[in-house]
Amino acid sequence: MKHLMRLYGIWMGCIILLLSCNSGAGPANQAITAPQKDTIIIKMMAFQPADITVNAGDTIVWINEDIVAHDVSHWPDKSWHSDTLQPHDSFVKIIEDSSTYFCSIHPTMKAQFSVKE
């Protein structure tokens, strides 16, 4: 019986120690920002807004509200791009780096997003 009580005490001590080590509280001055979703509207042959600032890991959704098809392509090399977006279609991208982009169907349509440092 004495052996069981000692074993029980050791187990309880380990559990309390583990629970206290993982309290979930980080440093008080550490801000944690959840990823955000930003929307860019394609309308009247333009990206609106044409310049947006986001955090790394945020998501941008482009929605084609124009009456013609568009796309969203990295400028100048198209290293990433959407499919052709018909009216009411959308394109979603998780953002890691600042970039300039354009519509390769209408190359005068150009915009950019910047990632906060």
- CATH code, 52: 2.60.40.420
d(C-alpha 102, C-alpha 82), whole Å: 11
At residue 2, does pLDDT exceed 80? no
Write out the residue range of the structural domain in which residue 87 sits.
37-115
Residue 80 lies in a domain: yes
User: For residue 78, is it within any domain?
Assistant: yes
Is residue 56 packed enough to be buried (19+ CB in 10 Å), middle (13-18) or exposed (0-12)?
Answer: middle
| Total domains present in the chain | 1
The pairing of beta strand 37-43 with beta strand 46-48: antiparallel
pTM: 0.71
What is the pLDDT, as a whole number, of residue 68?
98
**92 domain residue, yes or no:** yes
**Residue 82 lies inside a defined structural domain of this protein:** yes
* In a domain? residue 24: no
Is the pLDDT at 41 greater than 70? The verdict is yes
pLDDT of amino acid 117: 80
Residue 12 lies in a domain: no
**Which tokens go with 12?**
């309880």
Whether the bond into 49 is cis, omega within 30 of 0: yes
Give a yes or no: residue 13 inside a domain: no
